[in-house]
Chain A
Amino acid sequence: MDRQSEKIIVIGGSAGSFRLVSDILNSLPADFPSTLIICLHRLRSARNGFLEALSIKTEFEVQEPFDKEQIRPSVAYLAPANYHLLATYGRRFSLSVDDPCNHSRPSIDMTMQTIAWIYRKEVTGILLSGANMDGAKGLKRIKEKGGYTITQDPGTAEIKTMPQAAINLFTPDLITGKQGIIDYILGLKS
């Protein structure tokens, strides 16, 4: 496995983040070597539709992982509805029905925290628009473990609560708008 394919990008978002996530995925070439892990707040009862909507225009492989599935490069994994998505030892996913965190399941904090444990400095964490404070602590944990942290510029976010909560908690490495986020991700390929 080469160095680039070990990179993990974890993206968290809630209200107002769907279009930006879709734009990120649509910008990726099919051979983009890194793994994307996407944790978005979504309706608990809607199992279908979300993955399909994100997959429409992208060339990149997008899927919802099963419990204990191996984390592979060149795939975007979407946290399933009503489950926490965790990374566990052996570079696998683990799903959980532990109680909601920040009223959310999936919880961005829990995903980012466990990704940080396993991948440490190989992680780039990105926190986008959202209406609650989920994700701020998880993003901070990524930074503490040596990863790189980005928040969407609250001024460009549809709802600024989530990225602002992260900025209030610590100093992310980069605060930028949509194009800055896309440029950074695409830059990882080269």
Chain B
Amino acid sequence: MPEINIIDVKNIIKLVKQKYGFDPGIIDPASLTLRLEKLMKNNNISDTDLLCQHLDQDPDFYKQFLYTLFSNESELFRDPEMWIYLRDQVIPRLIAEKKNIRILVCFCTSGSDLYSIRMLVNELGLQKDTQLHYSWPSELNHIIIWKGKLINSQLETSLENMKKVIPGADEKKYLVKKKKDYFFNSLFLKEITDEEYKFNTHPGYRDYDLVIFRNQLLNFNHNYQNLMLHNLVKSLEKNGIMVLVYKENIVDYLVSHSTLVPENKKENIYRKVFNG
């Protein structure tokens, strides 16, 4: 496998920042290096000079670069206990308080959480009472989310999770088989709005009652994690809920910001207690 050293990584960061205005230095260094190596391997690029040449001269290659940085792989209803908690506790309470709720799936990379919340809302009969919005980090992520193709290796786990979280749901209603592959039924994406995630400015989200932001903080370094959290907390309504994953650690953020209190410590779910 190709190997990239820290000097190469710094040069690539500098080039991308100058050429495209995006700073890959916000990404966790280990993840960044592994993903750069993957990009080189997938494109048969033998050294970093060639990689820099592609990045410098080919805007389409840059799109692929961005996608490689943010191509995660997940299953539907990952961590079913968390989704059951949303189903039984969070969503009914929000609906009781507000009648109509706004949900943001932030930094959507694979679509799995977006499809999951869409199915859950539908099964709860709340599609008319919810506005669903998501942000995506790169054009290729956006295209992939709209295509809705599910990853075959994750399908078995996805189906198991669906049985736990939305028992009795007709899986054929949501998952459409075309030849050997399964796709999320595009009918359920129609009323969802979306936008590109803005890395360099405040995304300007606001008034959300539920923010789903799972397994995305992992991608970034500590400073950018805090910035993202700060922006997302700003986007929440009072008593709004933010959902992370159980392995994400925001202790440092909580120490310096009193706006978030744990709603469910085990599943890393937080509630905004006052408008800061």
Interface residues of A (CB under 8 A from B): 44-45, 47, 64, 66-69, 80, 82-83, 86-89, 94-100, 103, 110, 113-114, 117-118, 137
Asked if B246 contacts A87 (CB within 8 A), the reply is: no
A97 touching B218 by the CB < 8 A rule?
A: yes
Q: List 9 A-B contacts (CB under 8 A).
A: A45-B160, A64-B247, A68-B28, A86-B28, A88-B29, A97-B73, A97-B218, A99-B71, A110-B34
Q: In the bound complex, what is the Cα–Cα distance between A118 and B29 (angstroms)?
A: 11
Which residues of chain B are within 8 angstroms of A110 by Cβ–Cβ distance?
A: 34
Question: Please, which residues of chain B bring their CB within 8 A of the CB of A137?
Answer: 1
Q: Number of B residues whose C-beta is below 8 Å from A?
A: 30
Q: Judge whether A86 and B31 touch: CB under 8 Å.
A: yes
Q: B238: CB under 8 A from chain A?
A: no
Instruction: Write out, one digit per residue, whether chain B residues 75-95 have a CB within 8 A of any chain A CB (1) or not (0).
Output: 100110000000000000000
Q: Are B246 and A47 in contact (CB under 8 A)?
A: yes
Is the CB–CB distance between A114 and B249 below 8 Å?
no
B1 proximity list for chain A (CB < 8 A)? 137
Does A67 contact B30, Cβ atoms closer than 8 Å? no
Q: Which of B17-74 contact A (CB under 8 A)?
A: 28-31, 33-35, 38, 71-74
Q: B72's closest neighbor in chain A, by CB?
A: A97
Query: What would 5 more interface pairs be, CB under 8 Å, given A47-B79, A114-B30?
Result: A64-B247, A68-B225, A88-B29, A98-B38, A137-B1
Q: Chain B 256-267, CB within 8 Å of chain A: the 1/0 string?
A: 000000000000
> Does B103 interact with chain A (Cβ within 8 Å)?
no
Cβ contact within 8 Å between A66 and B30: no
Q: A67-B217, A67-B218, A137-B1 are in contact. Are A100 and B34 (CB under 8 A)?
A: no
A98 touches B249 (CB 8 A): no
Residues A68 and B72 in contact, CB atoms below 8 Å apart? no
Whether B218 lies near A95 (C-beta < 8 A) is: yes
Pair A86/B34 contact, Cβ less than 8 Å? yes
Residue of B nearest to A64 (CB): B247
A80 contacts across to B, CB distance below 8 A = 247
Given A47-B79, A66-B247, A110-B34, A98 contacting B72 (CB threshold 8 A): yes
B122 CB within 8 Å of chain A: no
**3 smallest beta-carbon distances between A and B, as pairs:** A88-B30, A66-B249, A99-B73
B30 A83 Cβ-Cβ under 8 A: no
User: Please, which residues of chain B bring their CB within 8 A of the CB of A99?
Assistant: 71-73
Q: In the complex, A118 Cα to B34 Cα: how many Å?
A: 13
Name the contact of B34 in the complex, choosing from A44, A69, A82, A98 (C-beta under 8 A): A98
User: How far in angstroms is the closest Cβ of chain A from B246?
Assistant: 7
Q: How far is the CA of A67 from the CA of B249 in the complex (A)?
A: 6
Q: How far does the alpha carbon of A69 sit from the alpha carbon of B33 in the complex, in Å?
A: 19
- How far apart are the CA atoms of A118 and B38 in the complex, in Å? 19
Q: Given the interface contacts A67-B217, A68-B222, A88-B28, does A97 sit within 8 Å of B246 by beta carbon?
A: no
Across the interface, A98 reaches (CB within 8 A) one of B35, B161, B217, B248, namely B35
Indicate if B153 sits at the interface (CB-CB under 8 A).
Answer: yes
* Chain A residues near B157 (CB-CB < 8 A): 44-45
User: In the complex, what distance in Å separates the CA atom of A83 from the CA atom of B72?
Assistant: 11
Name the B residues within 8 Å of A67 (CB-CB). Answer: 217-218, 247-249
Q: Determine how close the nearest CB of chain B comes to the CB of A82; give it in whole angstroms.
A: 8
A87 and B247 within 8 A (CB): no
B residues near A94, Cβ cutoff 8 Å: 28, 30-31, 218
Task: Tell me the minimal C-beta distance from B248 to chain A in angstroms.
Answer: 5
B215 at the interface (CB under 8 A from A): yes
Instruction: Contact check, A113 vs B34: say whether CB atoms are below 8 A apart.
Output: yes
In whole angstroms, what is the CA distance A80 to B161 when docked? 19
Distance of A62 from chain B, by nearest CB (Å): 16
